[in-house]
Amino acid sequence: MDIFCVKKMIERNREKVLIVILSIAFSVPLIAQEMSLSSDNKLDSILSAMSIEDKVGQMTQLNVKLVLKPEKNPIQVDSQALDFILKNQRIGSFMNTIGRALTLMEWNYLQKTIRYFVEKNDLIPLLYGIDAVHGANYTMGSVIFPHQLGQAASWNEDLVFKASEITALECRASGIPWVFAPIVDLGRQPLWGQFFETYGEDVFLAERMAVASVSGLQNKDQGLNVGGCAKHYVGYGLPQNGKDRTTVHISDNILRELHIPPFKAAIDAGVMSVMIGSHDLNGLPMNVNRYLLTNVLRDELGFEGVLVTDWADIKNLHITHRVTSDYRRSILAAISAGVDMAMVPEDFIFYETLLDLVLAGEISEERINQSTRRIVDMKVKLGLFDEQDYLLNKKIGEESHQRVAYDLASESITVLKNVNHTLPLNKKLKVFVTGPAANDIRFQIGAWGRTWQGMDTIVTSESIMSIYARMKELGEIALLPGIAVDKILDVDSALNMASKAEVIVLCLSENPSTEKPADINSLTISNTQLEYFNRLHNLEIPIVVVLSQNRPRLLGDIAENASAVILAYQSGSMGGKAIADVIYGEVNPSGKLPFTYPRYEHGISTYDHAYADEVDPMYGTNGFNPEWEFGHGLSYSEFTYSNLSLGRDSVFKDDTLIVLVELENKGSRTGKEVVQVYISDEVASLVPSVKRLRDFKKIELDKNQSKLVTFHIDVHDLGFVHPGEASKYVESGWFTLSVGDLSARFFVRH
């Protein structure tokens, strides 16, 4: 039975139902009243009280749009549809919104109504999931933080933790206990439409950020934690053709060395759920890859939480991937491989078919019990069996939350180029601000804003400060966009205004997008923006280029001829203020690239490349030639490194390598520097990387202050995974360690 049939049945039997939802005081569900939830056998008690229909329902997640009346503002629940679905499908989870962010009042009305009908039908509490990927973005008035790529550029785990903690608080204020975040895939293919949602290209940086995010989301100390979801397991960020939801080819040893570790870090941090990637890996769709879903994720990594699919991915096994012949075989294959919950999300065939598979003995009830137990356990840990407080929680968008968003944006902004100290700008200069992102906050919010793709006008309905608005508070500013991303508007007027300025601030971007709509065929910045820059450059006035974009776009003449280049990523609701404050020196920039910024269309390479990648056509060593390297980022302070020393120059594989280096701020103002430790394996039985990030610390120093910075590096972590092996192995030999412009060698003995 599909949703259209259900709607017709409801319409034929529709009665006027008047329920004053907002005035009802709800009690704990009946099924929970029959047991002590503090007892050791609470899960067994819950499971024993559930029918097989209840259990299959727990494994089903539907789109909440199925129970909402269309095009209602504020939203309105279709009470009969909700009652019918819960009574006949016994579902355990809803997800998503109606295509836009809801107000707190709407969220609380929705959650309270759902709970009423859940209890009316004697079901256990329902688990609601949402994409809150950089804040509670689907709640109007909430704080929106920089996207994950920008967060990684801060290299500040404490701020990432705080942002995640606030995300949890503001989601819980909306009645939402589960978020589909963080993404822990590596961003090593910038054509990929979700590149901006990653923590960048490096495995070590991604591990550290993943732990900070999961720990913040699930921090019980604040009392309103949410369940995190590490996604998209595994290798999803490296599609062969750069397109979303397509084929990935990764050898097993590289998968284990680079792509699995961030998931392992999230699991060790206690992440409650993992979302499966929509891709096929080496020809096998992830949703039927029993080896990786069960043998590796469960048995090796020790994951005990909920394993959920992405949107309609079980159906796509036969529709898109074509590894099964029909929906029934797709469901059988996915559940047998280890899937706990299916994001269906808009049909009832999954529930009915899975139930039939169990009743027919093709899937055992024991297998269903495994998944149900994990789902119910997550609900218990999130407090869903407890009395829910539906009084509006006003703690969204608070000044303290905005401050964290501002700090995170400020520390993420990365100054890539600054010729002759163009930045910071003198506030007395006449500045012309132009470009599509100058006064349009949609470009700093990005996708997953108040709407999925982020370009809808609802995003601009809030009082979020743009770059121009903040600059106008600080200096003498004139504004005219001149162009859109792909369209000429009033260039001649803009050029006339620019000619009267002493400095031009050109704010460039790409239209926000994510997932399949974000598929592109070229990284080159739009011709409209490139031509506009060249015409401005002909005025022979210094140009500061600000890039608000979700991946590196090839800049060509812009990188060569701009006086300064600032990468702002997608900086969130406080990004406009933070960007302007960096431009005028209110903030000393400290962001560092979490990826390698390419120079050429087909020159995409990561920093941890092989030595052979550096061989150029003349057999020199200039083959690796990005626009800017991983870890690059300028400050208004001058930091110097000295006195690098190792605890000893010979270590065993089970030792800890102690690294000491002195950092000094020789500048005239307080600043922050990310001290990055790289280590190179000089000779190995498999081709070694030129270098690998092995540790980092973000250090703040006053002017003329110095500090001795200490690192402790586990020598075992310097190994690599051999083909056919499951863990790293450290070979004996010489290694080179580098920090800043300093280096030292050490020998590893067995």
Structure tokens belonging to residue 725: 């092996």
Structure tokens, 320: 């898109």
Model confidence at 223, in pLDDT bands (50, 70, 90)? Answer: low
Q: Residue 40: which residues within 8 A CB-CB, separation 6 or more?
A: none
Q: Which CATH class is domain 639-749?
A: mainly beta
Determine phi and psi for 41, rounding to 5 degrees.
-100, 25
Concatenating the DSSP letter of every residue in 179-238 gives E---B-S----TTSTTGGGS--S-HHHHHHHHHHHHHHHT-GGGS---B-EEEEETTTT-
Three-class DSSP category at 173: helix
Domain boundaries, the chain: 3-381, 413-614, 639-749
State pLDDT tens for residues 319-378.
999 999 999 999 999 999 999 999 999 999 999 999 999 999 999 999 999 999 999 999
Judge contact between 568 and 561, C-beta under 8 A: no
Chain segment 469-491, per-residue pLDDT in tens? 999 999 999 999 999 999 999 99
Q: What is the pLDDT of residues 691-720, one digit of tens each?
A: 999 999 999 999 999 999 999 999 999 999
pLDDT of residue 459: 84
Active site residues: 310
Averaged pLDDT, 595-619: 96
In the predicted model, what is the mean pLDDT of residues 172-179?
Answer: 94
- Can you give the pTM of this predicted structure? 0.94
CA–CA distance, 230 with 186 (Å, rounded to integer): 12
pLDDT band at 3 (very low <50, low <70, confident <90, very high): very low
Does the pLDDT of residue 123 top 60, yes or no?
Answer: yes
pLDDT value of position 18: 32
pLDDT value for 394: 63
What is the edge-to-edge ordering of all strands in the sheet holding 650-652? 650-652, 742-749, 733-739, 671-681, 692-701
Q: Give the residue-averaged pLDDT of 515-543.
A: 97
Which of 453, 406, 415, 413 has the alpha carbon at shortest distance from 194? 453
Q: What's 392's DSSP letter?
A: P
pLDDT digits (tens, 9 = 90+) for 633-650: 999 999 999 999 998 999
Residue 586 to residues 401, 432, 624, 639, 724, Cα–Cα distance (Å)? 20, 19, 36, 19, 53
pLDDT digits (tens, 9 = 90+) for 289-313: 999 999 999 999 999 999 999 999 9
Q: Class of the 413-614 domain?
A: alpha beta
| pLDDT of amino acid 10 | 42
CB within 8 A of 459, min separation 6: which ones? 441, 442, 445, 449, 450, 451
639 to 636, 663, 669, 671, 710: CA distances (angstroms) = 10, 7, 11, 9, 17
Instruction: Say if residues 471 and 500 touch (Cβ distance below 8 Å).
Output: no
Average model confidence (pLDDT) across the chain: 93
3-381 maps to which CATH number?
Answer: 3.20.20.300
Average pLDDT, integer, range 192-210: 98
> How far apart are alpha carbons 209 and 9 in whole angstroms?
49
Q: For 494, how many CA atoms within 13 A lie in the half-sphere containing its CB?
A: 23
User: Helices (H), strands (E): how many in the chain?
Assistant: 23, 27
Q: Which amino acid, residue 98?
A: I
Among 281, 185, 178, which Cα is nearest to 231's? 185
Tokens of 477: 């500013």
What's the CA gap between 449 and 442, in Å, rounded? 8
pLDDT, position 200: 98
Q: Report pLDDT digits (tens) over 459-470.
A: 888 889 999 999
pLDDT value, residue 395: 75
Residue 392, Cβ density class (10 Å: 0-12 exposed, 13-18 middle, ≥19 buried)? middle
- Indicate if the pLDDT at residue 545 is higher than 80: yes
